[in-house]
Structure 1
Amino acid sequence: MKIKNTISLFSFFASICFSVSAFAATSVNCVSQLTDLDFIISSKSQGLLRFQNTPSEHNFAYHSDTSFNDYLDFAYQHILHSNPRAAMPCPLSTTTYKQLVKQGSRPEKSNIADLVAPFELRQPDNQKAVLLLHGLTDSPFTYHDLAQTYFQQGYTVRTLLLPGHGTAPDALKDVNAQQWQQATDYAINRTLKDYKHVVLGGYSTGAALLINYLTTHPVNERVKALMLFSPASEPHNKNGWAAKWIDLIPFVNWIDEDADIDFAKYESFPWNAAAAADDAMSTIAVNNLAQRRFPAIPVFTALSDIDTTIDSKATFALLSALHKISPHNTGSPDTLVLYGDKNIIPDYFPDSYTIHNPQCRSSDCKDIQGISHIAVVNSPNNPHYGINATYRNCGSYLDDESLYTLCKTTAQTTLGERTADNVARFQPFQRLTFNPYFNELSSQITQFLNAIEQK
């Protein structure tokens, strides 16, 4: 482990002590911490939640002959062992969680490990499954809302925990894109063994890993569709390639150092994570795809026009490249859901796509300044990220404690994507964490699924 400075060393040991003392108190839970400003500021400055417990030496082999249940058991135990807040009570009950309790996969009273661990939402005696991959710094909690859309269509829903996730941000200092791809390949191949009709879905970096698999492997005919949410095509910051070199500089480990108070997503961000994500996106660069083949399966994509994490223009180029190298049949149900300005769609984009461009028609969205990269997959009813939730993403102000505090505590903030213009115009500004058009998205997904099942 690289230690940034003396404070980081102290923080590492402090986080371990915290996990066995204060976190065990019944009065402390994942929700109450979100409003404890003193703890948030201390955690941000000292890195109290930035470091994992000593990780287990046992690793999962990712052989496709190993059952998915064995994988789920391994991942859960890994989180319990390494996440300093794994056992902390987290009374946030989603519909997906309630169903996991009903099927005997989770206890009625949830802790953090129960919510961030990968899950399988099972349908009895069916042959349809969707495999969903989260993005960089995220966890399978990302899919607690979208899982319902697929489950209601009769799909068993499987999720994967990418290596380095589900514990604490410093776990990302020792992973690479090859490890993520190995886990992805296992989950796909295992699901293809278990089901006859498989849909693959990926958010952000998870989308890049799926595309790389589909363009570098002979694709089983059981794969029926690819679904992409804020897919990682190219970083918005074009200097991502430099991250791996910066990470080599002694004591320079972190791009962002936040409080990491979000139980379901890392808020601090190591340079190595940026390097690994850039490597994952490089594998699906348009110039690399020209020499590959994409299977004749339909693609569903949802993205924002002003995504500040991923370059939306690069995503249009990526989708066009996939269409070009795929032997598509006429009438393919390829679908694009674009939040924002429809005029950014380039002239070269395939005209066979069905395009949805949601418009605001209610008070819930009229003051929102653009849909963020992280908002697309979450419902406004999400108990952690939704419109009435306690959590606030204030990462725009990591270097300004006054505005950071104001963002966390003021009665009213402006929500949207954290473009430079939005952050300058609206203070305090909170990054949007839910999709005000989520019900429409769910209907669009259902329509797409119905179309592919009729083919």
Structure 2
Amino acid sequence: MNQKASKGILLVHGLGDSPGYFQDLAQELVSQGFLVRTVLLTGHGSKPADLINVEFEQWENLVNHHIKLLEKEVDELWLGGFSTGANLVTSYAFENEEEISGLLLFSPGFASDERTLLPFSGIGSFFKTWLFQNDNSQNILRYESLSMNASNLYYQTLKRVEEGFEKKSFSKPVFITISEDDSVITSKDIVSIFTKNFKNPKSQLVWFGKENGFKDSRITYLPSYIPNQKIANFSHLSVLFKKDNFFYGKNSEYKMFRNGQDKIYNSQNDELWYSAWGLQEEGKYFARLTWNPYFKKNIKNMTEVINSNK
């Protein structure tokens, strides 16, 4: 009979993303003795159109099923997620806190920057198929097209996790990273949720940006403006990747030049910087920041939270 692993974690990716987003993180967790599992959410790993007919219950059932499978194999069960995936695992944790040892959440999608429009995405899918399309994407780790139904799926995860926040708080250790300049989520609202709903004194939130005077001593501030590395601020996805990541790393061939700029990048005239979506300044071109210069430091912070359970 196989002996149980001492601790395990299920990692759930974000909307349009893939398990490949966890390559760097998974290696770190394995080195700490974790049995690491991840899932491919229904509609992913093929083509963006495959998300058009997916229902929220398929995602929820898939995640719940794999949590139950992993639970049988380990003594200490952790859950982790990026963006939409963080919503899915957090909803489960709030309903089943006694089963969970803690949460590791990266750019969690608890508070959307599009909160006023999202409720209409379900109805909108009957009239419009796509919010935007990029049929020429070379990104092997995520979709660059978003259907109206995919947007509605995210909204369903947001509603479900908000229901949990309204009912209770979570007492186990939690590690969260967010960028002040994240274009996808409302960062200050995430801080409010952290302070109100994640009560464990050993929990940590890492804030990439300027000090904002938050009154929670569990928050660590890391400057997101790093001019000597041509980094203006941090993006939604950058927190997960090492500087030498095979695809999103600083020196990889792939660059996210489609980043809300009014023009096409010209290497002769433009100074190349990196940022979240949409930043524009005269004389500079901002590609998406796709790696985390604080990756090793963040792993240290995360490890402190994990070990606080002992």
State the TM-score, normalizing by the size of structure 1.
0.62
2:68 is paired with a residue whose SS is helix
**Contact kept? 1:184, 1:209, Cα under 8 Å:** yes
Higher share of residues assigned strand = 2
**Contact kept? 1:407, 1:430, Cα under 8 Å:** no
Counterpart mapping for 1:36-435 below 5 A? 126-215=5-94, 217-221=95-99, 223-238=100-115, 239-249=117-127, 252-258=128-134, 259-285=136-162, 288-289=163-164, 291-323=166-198, 328=200, 332-343=201-212, 345=214, 347=215, 351=216, 353-359=217-223, 365=229, 367-397=230-260, 403-404=263-264, 406=265, 413-419=272-278, 422-423=279-280, 425=282, 427-435=284-292
255 and 424 in structure 1: CA distance in 2 versus 1, 3 angstrom threshold: farther
Shift of 1:446: 1.9
2:139 is paired with a residue whose SS is coil
Shift of 1:450: 2.1
Shift of 1:253: 1.6
Query: Which whole-Å deviations, capped at 9, do the CAs of 1:200-241 have from their partners, x for residues lacking one?
Result: 1111001101111122x34344x2111110000122123122
2:103 is paired with a residue whose SS is strand
Q: For 2:50 and 2:267, how far apart are their aligned partners in 1? A: 26
Shift of 1:192: 0.9
Coordinate RMSD, CA, aligned: 2.5
Shift of 1:408: 9.4
Q: For 2:126 and 2:268, how far apart are their aligned partners in 1? A: 37
177 and 140 in structure 1: CA distance in 2 versus 1, 3 angstrom threshold: same
Q: Is the aligned partner of 1:445 residue 2:302?
A: yes
Shift of 1:411: 8.2
**Contact kept? 2:4, 2:74, Cα under 8 Å:** no
Query: Which whole-Å deviations, capped at 9, do the CAs of 1:149-182 have from their partners, x for residues lacking one?
Result: 2111111111111111111111111113222111
**Contact kept? 2:270, 2:284, Cα under 8 Å:** no
1:428 is paired with a residue whose SS is strand
The amino acid of 2:307's aligned partner reads: N
The amino acid of 1:247's aligned partner reads: S
2:108 is paired with a residue whose SS is coil
Which structure has the bigger radius of gyration? 1
Identical positions, percent: 28
**Contact kept? 2:104, 2:175, Cα under 8 Å:** yes
**Contact kept? 1:138, 1:266, Cα under 8 Å:** yes
Q: For 2:204 and 2:242, how far apart are their aligned partners in 1? A: 20
The amino acid of 1:148's aligned partner reads: Q
Shift of 1:425: 4.4
168 and 302 in structure 1: CA distance in 2 versus 1, 3 angstrom threshold: same
155 and 209 in structure 1: CA distance in 2 versus 1, 3 angstrom threshold: same
Q: For 2:121 and 2:301, how far apart are their aligned partners in 1? A: 37
The amino acid of 2:177's aligned partner reads: A
Shift of 1:363: 6.5
155 and 226 in structure 1: CA distance in 2 versus 1, 3 angstrom threshold: same
411 and 232 in structure 1: CA distance in 2 versus 1, 3 angstrom threshold: same
**Contact kept? 2:10, 2:80, Cα under 8 Å:** yes
Deviates more, 1:232-241 or 1:131-140: 232-241
**Contact kept? 1:212, 1:284, Cα under 8 Å:** yes
Shift of 1:414: 1.9
Aligned residue pairs: how many?
306
1:145 is paired with a residue whose SS is helix
**Contact kept? 1:132, 1:158, Cα under 8 Å:** yes
Q: For 1:155 and 1:246, how far apart are their aligned partners in 2? A: 42
391 and 219 in structure 1: CA distance in 2 versus 1, 3 angstrom threshold: same
2:172 is paired with a residue whose SS is coil
The amino acid of 1:370's aligned partner reads: N
Q: For 2:225 and 2:131, how far apart are their aligned partners in 1? A: 38
Q: For 1:183 and 1:321, how far apart are their aligned partners in 2? A: 29
Shift of 1:334: 0.7
2:59 is paired with a residue whose SS is helix
Q: Specify every segment of 5 or more residues in structure 2 that has no aligned partner in the other structure, as ranges.
A: none
360 and 311 in structure 1: CA distance in 2 versus 1, 3 angstrom threshold: closer
361 and 241 in structure 1: CA distance in 2 versus 1, 3 angstrom threshold: closer
Q: For 2:269 and 2:237, how far apart are their aligned partners in 1? A: 22
284 and 363 in structure 1: CA distance in 2 versus 1, 3 angstrom threshold: same
Shift of 1:355: 2.1
1:385 is paired with a residue whose SS is coil
